[in-house]
Structure 1
Amino acid sequence: MGILPFTKMQGLGNDFIVLDGVRASLALTPIQLRWLADRHFGVGCDQILWVEPAQDATNDFRYRIFNRDGGEVANCGNGVRCFARYVHDQNLTQRTHLRVETQAGVLEPELLPNGDVRVNMGEPLFDPDRIPFLAPALQPTYELALGQQVTRTFSVLSMGNPHAVQVVEQITHAPVDTEGPLIEHHPLFPERVNAGFMEIADRTHIHLRVHERGAGETLACGTGACAAVVAGRRLGRLDPLVHVTTHGGELLIEWQGAGHPVWMTGPAVTVYTGIVHIPNIEELTHAGR
């Protein structure tokens, strides 16, 4: 592969390596992506964002998302905000309202005058077949066993990627480290799932921690924030406009209810740019990466 230019970005501490596949073609294997995302041997990140030309002329760009385990996923809320900031700052476009192709469909981020990015994240999906979730029928919430001794109540939905959200009393004591992996790999989720832990402070404010599939707990999760607000709204416990506090900072999420898209507003920051030498597959395989 040789020398690879990259940009390091973060949205509320959820950090990304952004790669330009518009001005130069990219060809990276999963083992190289894992190395690049490794915080000890590579650059280090939660996800890698891969920018490409749009496949449909009515759209502006296409972008792909890879977790640090090398697996490709369909959507990333903090990532799409960083993507929008990246293509504008890199002079790939001067437009402030974009149409972006993802595996989850077309997203529409807008760069605001204060530097934040507002994104139409689309409508949430509840049909188990579309999440995917191996539930016998659509229900408001689901009881899932986590081992022999623990059963939790979850709201399950998709924001372009699957989420299982539970309400907890105190976010600081939420069992994210222990139960997050069990939820992620629960056999009822054939493509794994993001596990959200939500403390409801009042009708306009929640605290959130998310164990992301393929990444573990991150400082913030944009689609997780959207999913949590949708879950809280469907439980009758939240208003349409909600401030979501994560370890990395705050997002503003708006959902008017069924038939409406979820809107997300938050920051996107460039940390630094650089170049890195990507080892070839033989080198990484020999090193046991």
Structure 2
Amino acid sequence: MHGLGNDFVIFDGREDRFDLSPDGARFVADRHRGVGCDQVITLWPSNVGDVFMRIQNADGSEVGACGNATRCVAHMMLQEFGADKITIETLAGLLHAERNGQQVRVDMGEPRLDWDQIPLAREMDTESVELVVGGLGNPVAVNMGNPHAIFFVDSVDGIDLEELGPQIETHELFPERANVSIVEKRGPGDLRLRVWERGAGITQACGSAACAAVVAASRRGLVERAAAIELDGGTLVMAWAEDNHVMMTGDVAYVFAGHVFAPFNLEGHDDRERR
């Protein structure tokens, strides 16, 4: 599935607790030798929600949040259960999703804004982080279940994100690495966003980055707590509600379903085929 081009391989492990190893995730995500995706998602049973969503980046690392994947999984579960609302458990907490016409709306929860919640390596103002790399400087830092550094620029097309993204992601200021966003204001309530995702690189879209962007732009006084955010893969409608929760609305799409045959065991046990 994909959300605005941010694509996922989703395994249903609710019956047998399928536990994908980091090597297995890297194989599945490989666009030349595996299936190919930005993130690998595994569904497990949940005692506090309708389903638990495990998220592994293309490099095998595990993360707590992924907004586009949440919409995709929510769409699957809403169809399976014949429901209008769904609760998804993640490492970042419980996320609530609902139908919104042909789209899916997800409550991505409250942003974390303190320096030690990002986390940063030392105390500082997260509305203007003391960091300059390759001409990009003083980002806003926001944690939306994962850390984000948001830089505001005159034109996103003038930034070499391929070069600067990995430098900022792994900067010593971010002990857990960071997602890197560059944002251009194009009009009232209209933001253009490009994203370098930690562990995945440049992606067509990133839901948690869109959440972080609307929060950061609001903190800087660029928008009034809501915006249409244009990503490489399409547009998300974002709102930082008065209850402090960030609401994300957007499309999802199925690509195909099938089986993957690995040259090694995906789990670290006996070889098997996985759907």
Q: Given the two structures, how large is their TM-score scaled by the length of structure 1?
A: 0.88
- Quick check: 1:232 aligned with 2:217? yes
Cα distance, 1:109 vs. partner?
Answer: 1.0
- Quick check: 1:144 aligned with 2:131? yes
| 1:126 alignment counterpart | 113
Cα distance, 1:75 vs. partner?
Answer: 0.0
| 2:88 alignment counterpart | 100
- Quick check: 1:161 aligned with 2:151? no
| 1:273 alignment counterpart | 257
1:136-179 CA distance string (max 9 Å, x none): 23442112133xx6461100010111000000111112221111
Q: Distance in 1 between matches of 2:123 and 2:136?
A: 18
CA change 1:94–1:24 in 2 (3 A) is farther
1:39-85 CA distance string (max 9 Å, x none): 000000000111111132xx211111000001100000001000111
2:42 aligned residue (46, 50, 68): 50
- Structure 1, unaligned stretches of length 5 or more? 1-8, 285-289
- TM alignment of 1:1-289, pairs within 5 A: 9-56=1-48, 59-89=49-79, 91=80, 93-112=81-100, 114-146=101-133, 150=135, 152-256=137-241, 259-281=243-265
Q: Which amino acid aligns with 1:279?
A: P
Higher relative contact order (CA 8 A, sep 6+): 1
Cα distance, 1:23 vs. partner?
Answer: 3.1
Q: Given the two structures, how large is their TM-score scaled by the length of structure 2?
A: 0.93
Contact 2:132 2:138 survives alignment (8 Å): no
Q: Which amino acid aligns with 1:262?
A: V
Superposed CA RMSD: 1.7
Q: SS at the partner of 2:138? A: strand
Contact 2:215 2:225 survives alignment (8 Å): no
Contact 2:239 2:247 survives alignment (8 Å): yes
Q: Distance in 2 between matches of 1:135 and 1:270?
A: 42
1:181-214 CA distance string (max 9 Å, x none): 1110010111100000000012210000000000
Q: Distance in 2 between matches of 1:150 and 1:11?
A: 31
Q: Which amino acid aligns with 1:65?
A: I
CA change 1:109–1:217 in 2 (3 A) is same
Cα distance, 1:86 vs. partner?
Answer: 1.9
Cα distance, 1:247 vs. partner?
Answer: 0.8
Question: 4+ residue runs of structure 1 moved beyond 6 angstroms?
Answer: none
Cα distance, 1:135 vs. partner?
Answer: 2.8
Cα distance, 1:128 vs. partner?
Answer: 1.5
Q: Distance in 2 between matches of 1:107 and 1:55?
A: 14
Q: Distance in 1 between matches of 2:136 and 2:21?
A: 39
- Structure 2, unaligned stretches of length 5 or more? 269-275
Q: Distance in 1 between matches of 2:68 and 2:36?
A: 17
Contact 1:32 1:279 survives alignment (8 Å): no
Q: Distance in 2 between matches of 1:21 and 1:137?
A: 42
Q: Distance in 2 between matches of 1:212 and 1:139?
A: 19
More strand by proportion, 1 or 2?
Answer: 1
Q: SS at the partner of 2:26? A: helix
1:215-272 CA distance string (max 9 Å, x none): 0010000010110111000001112221000110000000145x51000000111111
